[in-house]
Chain A
Amino acid sequence: MNAHSENHDSHGLSTKLTLSVWVWLLVLTGIEVFLAYIQLSLTLMLVLLMGLSLVKAALIMAYFMHLRFEKRTLVLTLIPALLVVASTLSVFFPDSVRLLHMKPW
């Protein structure tokens, strides 16, 4: 019963790959900071930054957190559950817009 305790080396992360992921993450961060200093509309900026952040999150999960090398089903249950529940939270927004336009004072 310890199928889980080894066998990672076979498809584990080589140091080279790890380093290149790290470099990519830094590059993306750099792009984000750069973007922040360009005059863009807040919405566009939000979309771009969140897009990049999702890519970074995906990189971290896939490589650092090893999800790429786990069984596909693990990914297919965890990530959708998280995304579905988290994105339903965005139902909040129509109300915040209402709040902005319907303030008493």
Chain B
Amino acid sequence: MAAAPAVEKPAEAGARQVFEVQLTNFSGPFDLLLNLISRRELDITEIALAQVTDEFIAHIRRIQAAEGEWKLDEASEFLVVAATLLDLKAARLLPAGAVEDAEDVALLEARDLLFARLLQYRAFKEMARHLAARLEEEDARHPRDVPLEPHFTRLLPELLWRHSPEEFAAIAAKVLAPREEQPAAVGIGHLHAPTVSVGEQALLLQELLQGRGALSFRHLTEDAASRLVLVARFLALLDLFRDGAVSFEQAAPLSELVVRWTAEDERWTAEADEDDDERGAV
């Protein structure tokens, strides 16, 4: 990524200000992206996304500088978006026709996914605006919510109470005990599947391909036990392709995609890949 804008590197106080401004401006990468797009009055369905890439990168660098360190989960979201944007921009810089078909496809897919998620986010943002308006309107009305009239209170069934002070204290102790600090980072306790390593999937693909030379994408993914594995394998293929370890052949759009092993070294090492820090596991 490009160097941080020099303008944004002032004294502590200045950095602090930037930090606050950033936080009030947006939350999350989609919010930032939408913000940038709307400021330039761009339509997010246009390729114009490439035009806001620099701004996006500059923004996240500034936050990083101000905050000192990233929370891992947030950082990864920002980085995924940033990486996709950079890919898109890179593609735009190349002379027309100079890109290979397969790369185009991958790029289009990345772009579509980013657009899709951005659209989805925008839709919910719009719904949030709607909810806010509804809530505000409803705030103007107050429900009748008055204490029960005394003569009805007397009719309530006699309360059965069977707790000793000690039992009652135990209830209090349980409720008042500090709750398990919910991690500020993403908890993974609720994640369903075990994490799948892109690196491992790459090695697996390598074994499959080196044995047989070329295989269809369908064949390479048909034993994927879950969607998660499928995604990881897809990402692994993209990594392999970028490193020149495989090539793609496709006779016609939407026809069978054939993957061929092209690396010369015996062992292609996924671990050497810097990108793995960002999406080594999904």
Partners in one complex: no
Residues of B within 8 A of A (CB): none
Residues of A within 8 A of B (CB): none
